[in-house]
């Protein structure tokens, strides 16, 4: 879940068990000033030091392909790759490693960080934490009892023009080849859940039903709360979708409030792509590479949450912001859940005034800002 920074620092001490010698050890990152450091890695010095310490303790139990490589050099290679999708010549020269050795460093760091995902990506653990999170969502959009929003995040991969039929399963609804991971965010853009990636043609509903968090939520493990999802998901006891054909003003307002929280996912994914340009192109369309691609996606999600805790600003916008992705629809119409439809309608009716107040407030703020 989204821990406060003092809690994270306590977690750091517990995870690392470090002594004073760790603080005094020179780092290869010391050669960069703060501006160059951010340009190379899209992170700040304290954030990088935190990440390096985490990898250092973790790699005591993770075999390294090149034992004489220092941990901070491996982290430097990995963070530079995550930030740009390629290794900068200055980094290659500094670490003095071959392409194969850099690849081994990247795999080791990605495995180490992704293995720690449960410590940095999780749903609120207590009833009080869940209530506080739901209160934040309600303040944002006027809809109560919502913990966060989810969407299938698609990441482009390459496919050979001579083997398109073999990679048909990777083609998504926008017509390009991708892998996809279901991501759940809180209203502040912290990632609460990320799934192992699958081929780009996978239905959003299938992602939800096969995910651990989906099974937990549908079994009431996390309490009587909703997760906001788009039209690719089925309305259920715990998945709150928009009204497909709004027939009244209050249903139109509800859909606007729904979009307000659901758009957090797309802004979060856009920020991640700005900070971690490697997500713009994740390699080749081969099912035997899904584990490697999953590790990189999960690693970037962990680093995203860490960067937010250290208040690291995202780099400038390059290209388009992540658009809402048209989820793949099931070919056969599904039977609507009548109990879920009644629950959603009751939610709409009971909270019409709260939703209206939030939407009016947003309209006033936009007018004052000259929007």
Determine the pLDDT at residue 159.
76
Q: Is residue 299 part of a domain?
A: no
Instruction: Give the helix/strand (H/E) hosting 227.
Output: strand 226-228
pLDDT band at 268 (very low <50, low <70, confident <90, very high): very high
Q: Which residue has the higher pLDDT, 19 or 344?
A: 344
The residue among 369 and 298 whose pLDDT is bigger is 298
For 62-87, the pLDDT digits (tens) are 444 444 458 889 999 999 999 999 98
Report whether 72 contacts 27 (CB < 8 A). yes
Answer yes or no: is 302 within a domain.
no
Mean pLDDT for the stretch of residues 226-250: 94
Are both 15 and 140 inside the same structural domain?
no
Please give the share of the chain, as a percent, with pLDDT higher than 90.
56
pTM here is 0.87
Both 83 and 171 in one domain: the answer is no
CA distance 130 to 241: 20
Place of tokens 């990777």: 170
Q: What is the pLDDT of residue 329?
A: 64
Domain containing 36: what range?
5-120
- Is residue 303 situated within a structural domain? no
Q: Is 107 within a domain?
A: yes
**Would you say residue 239 lies in a domain?**
yes
**Both 73 and 155 in a single domain?**
no
Average pLDDT over every residue of 360-371: 55
Does residue 137 sit within a domain?
A: yes
- Do 182 and 163 share a structural domain? yes
At 365, the pLDDT band (50, 70, 90 cuts) reads: low
Give which of 141, 155, 323, 330 is closest to 233, Cα–Cα: 330
Q: Average pLDDT of the chain?
A: 84
177, 215: one domain: yes
Q: How confident is the model at residue 173 (pLDDT cuts 50, 70, 90)?
A: confident
- Contact indicator for 369, 271 with CB cutoff of 8 Å: no
Q: Does residue 200 sit in the same domain as residue 339? A: yes
Both 151 and 278 in a single domain? Answer: yes
Q: How many percent of the chain have pLDDT more than 70? A: 81
Residue 233: inside a domain = yes
| Residue 9 scores a pLDDT above 70 | no
pLDDT of residue 52: 93
Domain boundary among 120, 136, 157: 120
Q: Are residues 277 and 347 located together in one domain of the fold?
A: yes
Reply yes or no on whether the pLDDT at 28 is more than 80: yes
Whether the per-residue pLDDT at 120 is higher than 80: the answer is yes
Boundary of a domain, candidates 120, 150, 168: 120
Extract the runs of DSSP E, i.e. beta strands, from 157-218. Answer: 178-185, 191-194, 198-199
pLDDT at 32 over 50: yes
- Whether 11 and 108 share a structural domain: yes
What are the φ and ψ backbone dihedral angles of 147, each rounded to 5 degrees?
-95, -25
Domains held by the chain: number: 2
Among candidate residues 270, 241, 255, the one with its CA nearest the CA of residue 141: 255
288-325, pLDDT tens digit by residue? 778 888 899 999 999 999 999 999 999 987 666 566 66
Please tell me the total number of residues recorded for the chain in this structure: 371
Would residue 294 count as lying in a domain? Answer: no
Say yes or no: 76 and 221 in one domain.
no
**Residue 316: C-alpha distances to residues 34, 91, 273, 297 (Å):** 16, 22, 11, 21
What is the reported pLDDT for 4? 45
Of 120, 137, 158, the position where a domain reaches its end is: 120
Same-domain status, 262 and 215: yes
Judgement on whether residues 110 and 190 belong to the same structural domain of the protein? no
* Local confidence band at 274 (pLDDT 50, 70, 90 cut-offs): very high
Identify the band that residue 332 occupies on the pLDDT scale cut at 50, 70 and 90.
low
């Amino acid at each position: 879940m989204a821990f406060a920074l003092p809690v994270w620092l306590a977690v750091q001490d517990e995870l690392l068990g470090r002594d004073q010698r760790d603080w005094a050890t020179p780092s290869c990152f010391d050669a960069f000033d703060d501006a160059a450091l951010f340009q190379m890695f899209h992170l700040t010095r304290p954030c990088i030091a935190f990440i390096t310490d985490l990898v250092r303790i973790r790699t005591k139990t993770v075999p390294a392909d090149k034992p004489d490589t220092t941990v901070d050099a491996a982290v430097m290679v990995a963070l530079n790759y995550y930030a740009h999708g390629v290794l900068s010549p200055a980094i290659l020269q500094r670490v003095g490693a071959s392409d194969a050795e850099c690849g081994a460093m990247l795999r080791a760091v990605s495995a180490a960080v992704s293995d720690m995902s449960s410590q940095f990506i999780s749903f609120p653990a207590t009833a009080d934490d869940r209530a506080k999170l739901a209160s934040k969502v309600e303040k944002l959009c006027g809809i109560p009892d919502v913990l966060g929003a989810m969407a299938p995040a698609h990441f482009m991969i390459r496919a050979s023009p001579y083997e398109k039929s073999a990679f048909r399963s990777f083609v998504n609804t926008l017509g390009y080849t991708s892998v996809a991971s279901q991501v759940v965010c809180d209203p502040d853009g912290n990632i609460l859940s990320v799934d192992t990636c699958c081929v780009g043609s996978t239905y959003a509903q299938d992602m939800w039903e096969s995910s651990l968090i989906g099974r937990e939520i549908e079994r009431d493990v996390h309490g009587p709360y909703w997760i906001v999802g788009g039209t690719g998901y089925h309305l259920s006891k715990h998945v709150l979708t928009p009204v497909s054909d709004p027939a009244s003003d209050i249903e139109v307002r509800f859909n606007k409030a729904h979009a307000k929280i659901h758009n957090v996912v797309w802004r979060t994914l856009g920020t991640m792509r700005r900070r971690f340009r490697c997500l713009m192109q994740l390699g080749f369309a081969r099912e035997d590479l899904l584990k490697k691609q999953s590790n990189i996606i999960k690693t970037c999600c962990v680093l995203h949450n860490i960067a937010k805790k250290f208040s690291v600003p995202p780099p400038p916008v390059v290209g388009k912001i992540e658009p809402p992705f048209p989820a793949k629809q099931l070919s056969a119409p599904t039977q609507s859940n009548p109990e879920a439809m009644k629950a959603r309608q009751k939610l709409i009716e009971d909270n019409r005034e709260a939703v209206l107040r939030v939407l009016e407030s947003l309209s006033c703020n936009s007018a004052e800002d000259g929007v």
